[in-house]
Amino acid sequence: MASVHFSPGDQVVVRGDYPIGHFRTPVYVRGYNGVVVRYLGHFENPEPLAYRLQTHLLALFKVRFRQNDLWHNYKGSALDTLELDLYENWLERG
């Protein structure tokens, strides 16, 4: 079984990279802090798959972000959150 580097409750930061090409991590969360909600399994990395390149398995995590952190002048509740599925190669310890 492949290793899992994050657990529910872990603070993470989404890499702030802006590489050229086909990437599945939304720009609006890059560089922001979130919290791992759960581990979703290991899957082939969709970024090289988009180019039909050989890939390897990566852990996928559901990560929760506070809306107030993501959107300047957010007018909703301070309790509002957004959850995204993000691959481990985009996450760093927060």
pLDDT in tens, 37-86: 999 999 887 776 666 767 788 999 999 999 999 998 999 999 999 999 99
Task: Give, for 36, the enclosing helix (H) or strand (E).
Answer: strand 33-44
Query: How far is Cα 16 from Cα 38, in angstroms, rounded to an integer?
Result: 22
Domain count for the chain: 1
| CATH number of 38's domain | 2.30.30.50
The pTM (predicted TM-score) of the whole model is: 0.87
| Residue-number span of the structural domain to which 57 is assigned | 11-93
Distance of CA 82 to the CA centre of its chain: 11
Residue 88 lies in a domain: yes
